[in-house]
């Protein structure tokens, strides 16, 4: 059994972003199809959210589907969307019970109509929850997010500066991540929150996402507590 980790509440990060990588490879290692990996990824999501709630993390952002993921086989994309739909329909009561608020970031207007309706309903139902906010990055790409932010600023005819760019991103009113975790033993950002990660501490985890447990999450947060963050100063 893993030893229980104790983390100083004052050193708990407010926002943890996660690139959930490795589902396909995990399934392949077991002689199964990629969708088997996506299905089993939900266990890692559940354990991570439970650990985040226990440690009083304020925000979790999950990179669920990128703008580049449309290049994948249609069958796999449909499975991913159906998996999300079923989760939002069947687990909404659990989210309400745990006081979890859902927010979706990305180009949601380009998703299938049924999925958009379910997303809107889940955001509405959890809008008053205040324990943990889970941001689901869906049809999200950081480069297009930045381009759209600049376009919105120009339409408003206001000054292009850091504050106005922040206020026109999908993550408006959400603090920047303190930590980024990427599973799957891959070291790249994959067009994820490029603007928001400027001063984020990055942890690359060797484990594939379906193997990521609550204690893995806690171990990373335990490492974070010893990091002195200078934000450019001495």
Stretch 59-63: mean pLDDT: 98
In a domain, 147, yes or no: no
CATH classification of the domain holding 55: 3.40.1180.10
Say what the pLDDT of residue 28 is.
97
Stretch 179-193: mean pLDDT: 98
In a domain, 112, yes or no: yes
Say what the pLDDT of residue 227 is.
84
Q: Is the pLDDT of residue 8 over 90?
A: no
Count of Cβ atoms closer than 10 Å to residue 169 Cβ: 19
Strands ordered across the beta sheet of 179-182: 100-105, 132-140, 59-66, 15-19, 179-182, 201-204
- The Cα 53–Cα 67 span in angstroms is 29
According to DSSP, residue 96 is labeled H
If one counts the domains in the chain, the total is: 1
Give the pair of three-digit tokens for residue 89. 């329909």
Burial class of residue 107 (count of CB atoms within 10 Å of its CB; 0-12, 13-18, 19+): middle
Range(s) of the domain holding residue 89: 11-141+176-224
Say what the pLDDT of residue 1 is.
41
In a domain, 130, yes or no: yes
Q: Which of 21, 178, 211, 216 is catalytic?
A: 21
The model's pLDDT over 77-86, given as tens digits with 9 standing for 90+, comes to 999 999 999 9
- The Cα 234–Cα 222 span in angstroms is 23
Is residue 85 within 8 A of residue 118, CB to CB? The reply is yes
**Whole-model pTM over 0.85:** yes
Q: Which of 8, 23, 29, 69 is catalytic?
A: 69
Q: Is the pLDDT of residue 176 over 50?
A: yes
In a domain, 169, yes or no: no
Active site residue 21: yes
Q: Is the pLDDT of residue 120 over 80?
A: yes
The model's pLDDT over 129-174, given as tens digits with 9 standing for 90+, comes to 999 999 999 999 999 999 999 999 999 999 999 999 999 999 999 9
In a domain, 209, yes or no: yes
Q: Is the pLDDT of residue 234 over 80?
A: no
Give the pair of three-digit tokens for residue 141. 């790409």
């Amino acid at each position: 059994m893993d030893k229980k980790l104790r983390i100083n509440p004052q050193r708990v990060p407010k926002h943890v972003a996660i690139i959930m990588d490795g589902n396909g490879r995990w399934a392949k290692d077991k002689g199964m199809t990629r969708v088997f990996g996506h299905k089993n990824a939900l266990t890692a999501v559940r354990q991570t959210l439970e650990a985040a709630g226990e440690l009083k993390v304020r925000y979790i952002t999950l990179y669920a589907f990128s703008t580049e993921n449309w290049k994948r086989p249609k069958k796999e994309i449909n499975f991913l969307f159906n998996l999300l739909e079923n989760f939002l329909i069947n687990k909404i009561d659990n989210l309400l019970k745990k006081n979890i608020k859902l927010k979706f970031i990305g180009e949601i207007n380009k998703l299938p109509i049924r999925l958009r309706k379910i997303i809107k309903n889940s955001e509405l139902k959890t809008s008053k929850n205040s324990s943990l906010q889970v941001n689901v990055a869906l049809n999200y790409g950081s480069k297009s997010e930045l381009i759209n932010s600049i376009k919105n600023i120009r339409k408003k005819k206001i000054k292009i500066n850091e504050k106005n760019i922040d206020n026109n991103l999908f993550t408006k009113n959400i603090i920047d991540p303190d930590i980024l975790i990427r599973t799957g033993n891959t070291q790249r950002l994959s067009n994820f929150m490029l603007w928001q990660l400027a001063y984020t501490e990055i942890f690359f985890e060797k484990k594939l996402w379906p193997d990521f447990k609550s204690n893995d999450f806690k171990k990373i947060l335990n490492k974070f507590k010893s990091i002195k963050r200078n934000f450019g100063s001495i």
